Amino acid sequence: MREVAIIGVGMNKWGELWEKSLRQVFTEAALLALDDAGVDKIDSMIVGCMSSGLFIGQEHLSSLLADYTGLAPVPAARVESACASGGLALRTGWIEVASGLSDVVLVGGVEKMTDVNGNEATFALGTAADQEYECYHGITFPGLYALMARAHMEKYGTTREQLAMVAVKNHANGSLNPLAQYPFKVSVEAVLSSVMVADPLRILDCSPITDGAAALVLCPVELARKLKKPVVKIIASGMATDSIALSSRKEITWIESTYLAAKKAYAMAGKKPEDINLVEVHDCFTIAEICVIEALGLVEKGKGGQAVESGLTALQGKIPVNTSGGLKAKGHPVGATGVAQAIEITKQLRGDAGPRQVKGARVGMTQNMGGSGGSSIVHIFERG
Amino acid sequence: MEGIIGYGASIPRNRIKVEEIAKVWGADAPSYKKGLLVEEKSVPSPDQDTITMSVEATKNALKRAGIDPREIGAVYIGSESHPYAVKPSGTVLAEAIGATPEVHTSDFEFACKAGTEGMFVAYGLVKAGLIKYGLGVGADTSQGAPGDALEYTAAAGAAAYLFGREKVIAEVLETYSYTTDTPDFWRREYQYYPQHGGRFTGDPAYFKHITGAARGIMAKAGLKPADFQYVIFHQPNGKFPLRAGEILGFARKQIEPGWLVNKLGNTYSGSSPLGLTATLDISKPGDMVLIVSYGSGAGSDGFVLRVTDRINEVRDLAPKTRELLEKNRNYLEYGTYAKFRHKIRKAD
């Protein structure tokens, strides 16, 4: 397999982009990535998108977006793994370059979520859960993660305040990210007094509904060096699946798919958790970040809440988590999230992250997750 | 100079508290109160509707204007809850106040700005010299679907304005309208309750048009926020007008006299016009007042007013808006409210 590098990144400000359509949002990010890479021709294109069909009534995205970015007739594929669609797009693009099938691949992720109302968006997102065994009984994602949160609190003594501190940390990071949907700080008190969504989770524990896109250009490391681009290597890609129904898991506080995806990625990269300088994780809810940093082996099982409280995962901490602001503050256009995580790590490893730069960052990791952990995709990156 | 020669308000005495609605729907009342800055809202009685409230408000306006209703040349009611789909509300009002038959009558509809539209046209005809007096009324018994966020605010009330050339209470110094096609809130024919675009009703709808109209009219008039004693913005909830004020640079004390929504709810077409009646109740001669309405769909009308000496003569001739809001309240339980608002329907 060939070594693969990221040579271009593209992303515009995320938010409630009512004046733009999906194709416009995507095209802007794709063109920024192509400009950043300095290439005007690609061999193939992969798009991650969870549910354009339910959100805007449009499928056949791969061809639509190849056309509107002016890249047709390149081969293009749209991949889907719920909220991990972006991570899967990156993994698919990586496989294509690593295998030698293509040299330059555009990897993009996109979701346009605000063209429907809140109930319709909740329904669309709910399709990432098990329709027969979960949704049928009326539960939605905030409810599923609330069950995980309650169980984590009971089992490990994780506190309501510790959950809030995840949001506080990620908003503090997000306040330094001009592309974030909500680039402002929040306090623990604000989280604890925000609107109740699904006990114990309140609105400020939840990632928002977001329109946005993100794009990357991948190529072999050899070619990247010839193009004289700053090289960020993808040194591992791990993926694992699990039951998409929470009720089928052995432990609802443990995300096995993330654990297994990380295990494969660490082995492929020849790295251990302590070798990682910073991580972008899938904090769709505050409890998710706590469970995920445990499954990634960054902290002991059950200690995720304490880790946040102690400042371990803060921007200046030992292992900064979600320097971009995470899904919580940056926003969560589901199909774009996994790609945007890789953009943050690329910027950090290039030393381009501005006021939120982690000093001396050499190795970074992303963890992108579908549903309540039915799929997880972990990538490890290294400055080349 | 042309302007307002009489104004009057009508507010039903029934109220329902946010807690009472939240209790029925299993919702978190403190969150709604904090999120909307609304504590309770007015509810019409079974016999009250857009027409009866318009009549009451207009009678109060006539008391202040002291004119012969037969000289009113135009009667306009703006509402999104006209009792009839076909048959005007305005004819009933015109008949009830004795303005028929030599009168032009029309019903206006433009979501929550229909009231200021009626005012706009009545004033325009007076200024053009086509009529001696013109009447513009904003009135609604607004609809919010059971359990919808709108149910906490959809309220009832009316405000009436008579325009003329003499004995003017408040001169109209400038008018301005700001309109685009923005589908943030709608109700199709045969539907009981409106639908809305959730958060889309904020920035690209309410705030864009309110701030667009406010900035536009101030530029046209050569005025700035500090030149006004008072400002009234449409009040769909408590937060929106306060934030609009912050964005535009108005102080809380300029907004508060006309900010009724925390105890009144959103009276739709009556909302900013009732804010203005409450503001005129406490205005002094020479005060400058800015009113900017908002109607979904979407548009805003603005008026720059200068209060005259006559305000002191007419202020006490009819009930004041704050009195209507604060006195003689009757608190309803949800069941009675549901009956009054025809939320309980029998099968045919």
Contacts of A196 in chain B (CB under 8 A): 28, 31
Residue B245 is assigned to a structural domain of this protein: yes
> Is B198 within 8 Å of A195 when comparing Cβ atoms?
no
> Is B31 within 8 Å of A114 when comparing Cβ atoms?
no
CA distance A137 to A159: 28
What total of structural domains would you count in chain B?
Answer: 2
Q: Hey, what domains does chain A have and what are their CATH numbers? A: 4-116+210-232 (3.40.47.10), 118-200+235-383 (3.40.47.10)
Residue from A117, A119, A193, A211 whose CB has the most chain B CBs within 10 Å, to mutate: A117
Residue B317 is assigned to a structural domain of this protein: yes
Sign (positive or negative) of CA dihedral B268, B270, B276, B282: negative
> Is A16 within 8 Å of B200 when comparing Cβ atoms?
yes
Report percent pLDDT > 90 for chain A.
97
Q: Which residues pair with A202 in a beta bridge?
A: A196
Which residue has tokens 């409280």?
A309
Q: What integer pLDDT is reported at residue A258 of this predicted model?
A: 98
Q: Cis peptide leading into B273, omega within 30 of 0?
A: no
Q: Which residues pair with B117 in a beta bridge?
A: none
Cα distances from A52 to residues A204, A351, A371, B192, in angstroms, run 26, 34, 16, 31
Contacts of B197 in chain A (CB under 8 A): 117
A–B CB contacts, 8 A cutoff, strictly below: 17
Shared domain check, B268 and B209: yes
Report, in angstroms and rounded to the nearest whole number, the Rg of chain B calculated over CA atoms. Answer: 19
Contacts of B28 in chain A (CB under 8 A): 195-196
> What ipTM describes this predicted complex?
0.74
Sign (positive or negative) of CA dihedral A88, A94, A95, A97: positive
Q: Which residues of A touch B (CB under 8 A)?
A: 16, 18-19, 114, 117-118, 194-196
Q: What integer pLDDT is reported at residue A384 of this predicted model?
A: 85
Q: What is the CATH number of the domain that holds B279?
A: 3.40.47.10
CA distance A263 to A276: 13
Q: What integer pLDDT is reported at residue B345 of this predicted model?
A: 82
Q: What letter would DSSP give residue B238?
A: S
The model's pLDDT over A27-77, given as tens digits with 9 standing for 90+, comes to 999 999 999 999 989 999 999 999 999 999 999 999 999 999 999 999 999
Residue B345 is assigned to a structural domain of this protein: no
Shared domain check, B34 and B140: yes
> CB within 8 A of B226, min separation 6: which ones?
none
Outline where chain A has alpha helix (H): 22-37, 52-56, 61-68, 85-98, 118-126, 141-156, 160-174, 188-192, 221-226, 256-269, 286-295, 304-310, 326-330, 334-350
Cα distances from A241 to residues A140, A259, B22, in angstroms, run 20, 10, 41
Shared domain check, B22 and B46: yes
Residues of B with catalytic roles:
80, 112, 234
Alpha carbon B97 to its chain's center: 20
- Give buried/exposed letters for B306-326 (b at 16+ CB in 10 A, else e): bbbebbeebbeebbbbbebbe
> Is A117 within 8 Å of B198 when comparing Cβ atoms?
yes
Q: What letter would DSSP give residue B202?
A: I
Q: Which residues pair with B306 in a beta bridge?
A: B171, B288
The model's pLDDT over A92-139, given as tens digits with 9 standing for 90+, comes to 999 999 999 999 999 999 999 999 988 899 999 999 999 999 999 999
Residues of A with catalytic roles:
83, 332
On whether the pTM is more than 0.90, the answer is no
The model's pLDDT over A268-309, given as tens digits with 9 standing for 90+, comes to 999 999 999 999 999 999 999 999 999 999 999 999 999 999
CA distance A215 to A338: 10
Q: Is B225 an interface residue toward A (CB < 8 Å)?
A: no
Residue A8's pLDDT band, with cuts at 50, 70 and 90, is: very high
Shared domain check, B225 and B149: no
Contacts of A114 in chain B (CB under 8 A): 199-200
> Is A114 within 8 Å of B199 when comparing Cβ atoms?
yes
> Is A117 within 8 Å of B204 when comparing Cβ atoms?
no
Q: What integer pLDDT is reported at residue B72 of this predicted model?
A: 98
> Using an 8 Å Cβ cutoff, are B220 and B176 in contact?
yes
Range of the domain at B244: 170-307
CA distance B339 to B332: 11
> Is A19 within 8 Å of B35 when comparing Cβ atoms?
no
Instruction: Report the residue from B28, B197, B204 with minimal CB separation from A196.
Output: B28
Shared domain check, B233 and B329: no
Shared domain check, B105 and B36: yes
